[in-house]
Structure 1
Amino acid sequence: MTKKTWLLGLGFFSISITWALYNAFVPLFLAQYLQKASLIGFMMTIDNYLALFIQPWIGHRSDRTNTRFGRRMPYLLMGMPLAALFVTLIPWYTSLSTLVIFMVLMNLSMSLFRSPTVSLMPDITPEPQRTKANGIINVMGGLGSVLAFGVGSILYKIGTFVPFLCAGVIIIGAMLILKFGIKEVPNPIANKDVHAFSKPRISLRAQLDRTTILILSAIFCWFLAYQGVEAMFTLYGTKYLGLSGSAASFSLTFFSLAFLAFAIPSGWLGARYGKKRVILSGVVGLFIIFSAIVFVHHLLALRLLLVAGGLFWACININSYPWIVSTGSEESIGTRTGLYYLVSSLAAIISPPLLGLLMDQWGYPALFITASVGLLLALLCLLPIPSELSRTEGDPTVTNVRL
């Protein structure tokens, strides 16, 4: 499991390094044509809008795909070369229209393989080991982001196209490693009468039982809190706490590094003590941290709280995807992956403008007050969910698991 998991982590590494470079430098390209930050911000959310529709459909579709390459791999073999091409083309724009075209095509290409790549993890990993595996691949993704910010700025000075070219090469390299390093098991629901890319038989509505709806609601609420804080924290730090822009952004690094450091341990805790229990402790802990930050004005105290917040966020984030997958059957992994990205992307779209509006109306402390309310709502969604669930009623191949 470990070797395959680290190999799969390279796929997350390539995705993370590409998005980090995209988020770091594309706004600079857009700023040459757009004067309003709001318009630039809207353009940078294209991926979230596509994720609302394409990723759930692709994940749902891959559950029924049956080819000699596997059920997930065809989407990687189609999407990754296209993404590598269009991310390489982005800095070669000649006008706003060509820049937007390259951006949209790159986002479409990334949407083709993100859900299938994520779905590979539970495909190749036994259920009791999935939280540990998710911790490993999140570490790989985090390292990709760190490398993108650290090395990407140096490459950008050499030429604006260089970091994007490197991202394209990394995507192709990751695709080849995944293609030859991971052999997919036969589709468990495939049969001789099912053709490749046949019409899915698993309805999305059938997946939305009470437990799934409660978990998805909780995911939406805690991402609403997290995405808003991530997007608006530098504004909070500079306008309310009086920090410089660099000090405010650097403070948020403490949160990210703590998350990265605790990603693998939180996965181990989820496997050892149960995913729901660890997530609950993370939600309660992060609620306390965000509530306390409202009253903190000292920089050192703020950063210490952010370190603790990163640890609690790891407990939530590392265990949430394996949990939503474990509450369904093996044949619905791609569908549930798409649903996970649907609600998290919806939160990413709604949260920054919503929290920004509340900050305008009630002042900057409204950021962490609202984020705390989001976590409280997530907690209320989690409490009715039983700790032991039958993954698939009536399926003799699937056993009960303690969550």
Structure 2
Amino acid sequence: MKRLNYGKTFLLGFGFFGVSVIWMVYNSFVPLFLANKFQLDPRWIGFFMTLDNIAAFLIQPPVGAWSDRLRTPIGRRMPFILIGAPIGAIAFGLIPLANILPLFVACTSTLLVSMAFWRIPVIALMPDITPSRFRSQANGIINMMGGIGSIVATLIGGRLYDMSANHAYPFWMGSILVVLSALLVFIFIKEPKEYEETSEEERPDLWKAFMTVIRGEEKSALRILLAIFFWFVAYNAIEAFFTLYAQNHLGLEGGQGAQLLGQLSFVFVLFALPAGYIGGSLGRRRTILIGLVGMIVLMLLMYILPKATLIIPLAKVFGLGQMYMISILLMLAGASWAMINVNSLPMVVDMTDNVRIGTYTGLYYLFSTLAAIAGPNINGWIVALTHNNYSSIMIVGPIFMVLAMAMMLGVKRGEAKPQA
């Protein structure tokens, strides 16, 4: 009887750890550079913060299908990791050193392309080496490692940000960690040596998979992909502007705003593995719906409660920094987000066969990336239209979470497959 290999899954999680460090540092501090160093309007900041997702939208889905077809002595996923990770690390370390906008754009563009090149292959390794019935639990471990990366990026990165004049230390930390993470995955994770083969007409192809989802009589795959789009619109819109929200609405420093995100990530890490086991026992769809209700309530509270209430100081906690009333809401949001995020990818990849795992992982990231493009732009315009009222970002999220719930209510597939 097949079992979940915890050691191998934890080691694979280092790949997601490296990705998470890079993106959390990027999302936390690049908006501050754009506002404080280059004096960009919120609408331009919102657009700039979607460039990584535009690159991902164009690159990641076809790379996922390409990795399904690729055959090399080191595997079908590893070549992408070994090329993309070091290039991304170098570009990332140069971002804080760029003092003119064109050079800043050149560094970030190189980072975006290289990171998009290897993200889906490293994520697709999880279902490659994990039986269907354990994929929620394995994704819980992977997301826990990603959450640890987010904690490192925000709590440690938040302190490092204020320690240097050019704010370079968190970026250099991210560059080192992403290279080490990629090396650990390459050394310790061995891809399957044999793959299911198909005829030339049936080989994995992103467009064919997309049209199958659109035209199929049973719409569960389409519904969950639309739900993914809606809940990522809500989450990414808030994440991209949260440090500016903390600075302009709550009156906190940029580093403190990053630490608040770190408190959310801390609970996400603690709850990622339980969320996978809850999805395995209670059902993935039901677990996601519970998480969506939690996110809707908590974001509405952050919008409704007055600023003075949100920043009531509670206590200083070692490793987490100053705790405020909003910290409690963010921590509960971290648990709710884990229930959603941990169980969604396993639902998508269990709607196909092992031949097309990379392709369907690509579809997952196609819709989440479209959301990450739309979310910051929507919030950038809302902030500008409300005369830079950054609290307005907390009203967008519940609307899109409700739309996600409507889609999930019609999903009928995607639970764990019976074990062979």
Give the TM-score range, shorter chain. Answer: 0.7 to 0.9
1:18 and 1:364 map into 2 onto residues whose CA distance is 25
Q: Which residue of 1 aligns with 2:349?
A: 325
Q: Which residue of 2 aligns with 1:379?
A: 405
Alignment equivalent of 2:371, drawn from 343, 347, 350: 347
Contact 1:231 1:352 in 2 (8 A): yes
2:53 and 2:339 map into 1 onto residues whose CA distance is 24
Q: Which residue of 1 aligns with 2:184?
A: 177
Q: Displacement of 1:289 after TM fit?
A: 2.9
Give the residue type in structure 2 aligned to 1:34.
F
Describe the superposition over 1:213-262 as per-residue Cα deviations: whole angstroms up to 9, x where unpaired.
1001111111122222334456666766x654567665555433322221
Change (3 A) 1:358 1:161: closer
Overall identity of the aligned pairs, in %:
37
1:69 counterpart SS class:
coil
Contact 2:95 2:107 in 1 (8 A): yes
Number of residues paired by the alignment?
Answer: 388
Give the residue type in structure 1 aligned to 2:176.
V
Q: Displacement of 1:184 after TM fit?
A: 0.4
Contact 1:207 1:328 in 2 (8 A): no
Alignment equivalent of 1:55, drawn from 50, 57, 60: 60
Q: Displacement of 1:119 after TM fit?
A: 0.5
1:63 counterpart SS class:
helix
Larger deviation, residues 182-191 vs 369-378: 182-191
Please give the root-mean-square deviation of Cα atoms over the aligned residues, in Å.
Answer: 3.3
2:72 counterpart SS class:
coil
Alignment equivalent of 1:110, drawn from 95, 107, 115: 115
Change (3 A) 1:370 1:23: closer
2:152 and 2:260 map into 1 onto residues whose CA distance is 18
Change (3 A) 1:102 1:190: farther
Which 5+ residue runs of structure 1 have no aligned equivalent?
392-398
2:112 and 2:132 map into 1 onto residues whose CA distance is 31
Q: Which residue of 2 aligns with 1:396?
A: none
What is the correspondence of 1:124-203 to structure 2 with a 5 Å cutoff? 124-152=129-157, 153-154=159-160, 157=164, 163-190=170-197, 200-201=204-205, 203=208
Describe the superposition over 1:320-366 as per-residue Cα deviations: whole angstroms up to 9, x where unpaired.
11111111111111111112112112212212332454463597775
1:370 aligns with 2:376: no
2:99 and 2:253 map into 1 onto residues whose CA distance is 31
1:243 and 1:159 map into 2 onto residues whose CA distance is 22
Alignment equivalent of 2:279, drawn from 253, 270, 273: 270
Contact 1:83 1:110 in 2 (8 A): yes
Larger deviation, residues 330-339 vs 47-56: 330-339
What is the correspondence of 1:4-153 to structure 2 with a 5 Å cutoff? 4-27=8-31, 34-38=38-42, 39-93=44-98, 95-152=100-157, 153=159
Change (3 A) 1:375 1:123: same
Q: How does the TM-score come out when normalised to structure 2?
A: 0.80
What is the correspondence of 1:159-308 to structure 2 with a 5 Å cutoff? 163-190=170-197, 200-201=204-205, 203-204=208-209, 205-208=211-214, 209=216, 210-233=219-242, 243-245=251-253, 251-297=260-306, 298-299=309-310, 302-308=326-332
Give the residue type in structure 2 aligned to 1:124.
I
Describe the superposition over 1:285-310 as per-residue Cα deviations: whole angstroms up to 9, x where unpaired.
32233344444333366443333222
Q: How does the TM-score come out when normalised to structure 1?
A: 0.84
